[in-house]
C-alpha cells in the first residue's frame, strides 16, 4: 500500500498530465462526481460534466497546453497544488506562461471535492494579447 505522501504526489503528477493530455474528461475524472472548482473567486463550476467543459475551453484556447506541477503541500484532506501553465494561444499564437495554484479539499478516496484556483488574470490576458 502506498504512503499518503506517494498517493498525493502521484495525484498531483497525474493531474498535471491530465491537463496536458488535451482530454478534458481526464481532468474531470480527478474530481468527485459533484466536485467543484472556482477560479479567481469566480462562480463555482460544479460536477464532472461542467468541469469537463471548463477544461475543454482551456484545451481549445491552448492546443499545445502543458501544465506542470511545481509543488504540492498537504495537511490532512487539504492540499495545495502549485502549477505552471504554458502554451500558445490559438488565436494570437502568443506564448503564455503563467503560474498559480489550486487549494484542494479531498474526499476519502483522494478525489477533489473542492478546488479554489488562483492565477494572475491580468498578466495572463496581457500575454495572450502580446502586450
CATH number (3.10.450.50, 3.30.830.10, 3.30.470.20, 3.40.50.300) of 4-129 reads 3.10.450.50
pLDDT in tens, 22-57: 999 999 999 999 999 999 999 999 999 999 999 999
C-alpha cell at 96: 503564455
**What letter would DSSP give residue 62?**
-
Q: Which of 3, 11, 1 is nearest to 79 (CA)?
A: 11
Extract the C-alpha cell encoding 55: 477544461
pTM for this model (two decimals): 0.95
Give the confidence band of 11 by pLDDT, cuts at 50, 70, 90.
very high
Task: Report the C-alpha gap between 89 and 126 in whole angstroms.
Answer: 12
Q: What pLDDT score was predicted for residue 18? A: 98
Sheet holding 66-75, edge to edge: 45-46, 31-39, 112-119, 95-106, 78-88, 66-75
- Classify residue 88 as left (phi > 0), alpha (psi -120 to 50) or beta: beta
Amino acid at each position: 500500500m502506498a504512503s499518503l505522501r506517494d498517493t498525493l504526489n502521484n495525484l498531483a503528477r497525474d493531474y498535471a498530465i491530465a491537463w496536458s493530455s488535451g482530454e478534458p474528461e481526464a481532468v474531470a475524472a480527478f474530481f468527485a462526481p459533484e466536485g467543484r472548482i472556482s477560479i479567481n473567486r469566480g462562480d463555482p463550476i460544479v460536477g464532472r460534466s461542467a468541469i469537463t467543459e471548463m477544461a475543454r475551453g482551456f484545451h481549445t484556447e491552448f492546443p499545445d497546453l502543458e501544465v506542470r506541477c511545481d509543488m504540492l503541500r498537504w495537511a490532512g484532506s487539504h492540499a495545495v497544488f502549485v502549477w505552471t501553465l504554458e502554451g500558445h494561444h490559438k488565436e494570437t499564437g502568443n506564448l503564455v506562461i503563467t503560474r498559480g495554484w489550486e487549494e484542494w479539499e479531498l474526499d476519502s478516496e483522494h478525489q477533489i471535492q473542492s478546488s479554489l484556483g488562483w492565477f494572475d488574470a491580468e498578466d495572463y490576458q496581457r500575454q495572450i494579447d502580446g502586450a
